[in-house]
């Protein structure tokens, strides 16, 4: 049976339309998850919701226990994950409030526990990561966007930076030369770990600021919060529509 989870990022610590039936704390060999899992119904379908930064948004990107989160989701029978993320836009067509369904990732993070395959191995294991995001879920989200007449950016490369600081203008220039279209701090190792456990995982990113050096002024939290406030409604609509399509 296919079972879907939503991992909510900055600006999405809860989904008000999710009718929660129970909260489940899951212990893992890797420690605690960011929060208890909320089981509930959204768009007429049973889903699980996890607040990546904790319910009160207190866990910074480099301190998230990605392994516990992904292991626990898989352990309770989740097969598909939509990962919501706030990002900065580099590509000219990704201004604040634009939704992006990326199809590639470049990992610039460091010192994060980035694999399940590091201890007690029978064999050294290398997963294929040519296509980091699950195309089945990407297609569901793109179709849902089309149905809603939402103009989302199809594809693009997510540059995952370490944070928690934002980038320098020079770093953004380098990221752009590398081929990155958006920048976020939580996309990795989450995507890798999901793939290691065979989950179908795709990201729904909301641009909340122009990347450093690309806007008219320095980046402020006020500007980010405003873009989240104005843009997250569309993300929630997209998720609800995706869930409906997914259940078909
Ligand atoms: N850079 C990295 N992560 C982010 C940004 C950014 O500009 N905006 C939101 N998350």
76-135 pLDDT tens trace: 999 999 999 999 999 999 999 999 999 999 999 999 999 999 987 888 889 999 999 999
Residue 81: closest CA among 36, 33, 147, 141: 141
Distance set, CA 187 to CA 3, 24, 38, 113 (Å): 21, 24, 21, 13
pTM of the model: 0.96
Q: Cα(233) to centroid of ligand 1, in Å? A: 19
pLDDT tens-digit readout, 138-160: 999 999 999 999 999 999 999 99
User: What is the CA(44)–ligand 1 centre distance, in A?
Assistant: 33
What is the pairing mode between strands 80-89 and 182-184? antiparallel
Specify burial of residue 41 (Cβ count, 10 A radius: 0-12, 13-18, 19+): middle
CB-based pocket (< 6 A), ligand 1 = 86-88, 161, 166-167, 183-185, 208-209, 211
Domains with residue ranges and CATH for the chain: 4-117+127-247 (3.40.50.1580)
Question: Is 90 exceeded by the pLDDT of residue 185?
Answer: yes
């Amino acid at each position: 049976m296919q079972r879907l989870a939503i991992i909510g990022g900055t600006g999405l610590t809860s989904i008000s339309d999710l009718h929660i039936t129970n909260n489940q704390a899951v212990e893992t060999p890797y420690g605690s998850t960011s929060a208890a899992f909320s089981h509930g119904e959204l768009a007429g379908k049973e889903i699980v919701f996890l607040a990546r930064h904790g319910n009160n948004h207190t866990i910074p990107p480099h301190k998230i226990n990605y392994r516990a989160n992904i292991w626990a989701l898989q352990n309770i029978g989740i097969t598909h994950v939509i990962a919501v993320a706030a990002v900065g836009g580099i590509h000219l067509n990704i201004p604040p409030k634009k939704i992006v369904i990326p199809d590639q990732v470049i990992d610039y993070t460091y010192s994060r526990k980035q694999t399940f395959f590091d201890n007690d191995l029978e064999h050294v294991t290398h997963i294929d990561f040519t296509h980091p995001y699950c195309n089945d879920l990407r297609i569901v989200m793109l179709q849902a966007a089309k149905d809603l007449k939402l103009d989302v950016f199809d594809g693009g490369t997510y540059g995952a930076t370490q944070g928690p600081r934002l980038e320098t203008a020079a770093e953004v220039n380098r990221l752009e030369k590398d081929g990155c279209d958006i920048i976020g701090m939580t996309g990795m190792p989450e995507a890798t770990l999901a793939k290691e456990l065979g989950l179908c995982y795709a990201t729904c990113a909301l641009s909340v600021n122009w990347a450093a050096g690309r806007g008219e002024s320095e980046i402020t939290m006020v500007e980010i919060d405003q873009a989240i406030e104005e843009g997250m409604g569309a993300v929630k609509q997209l998720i609800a529509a995706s869930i409906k399509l997914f259940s078909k």
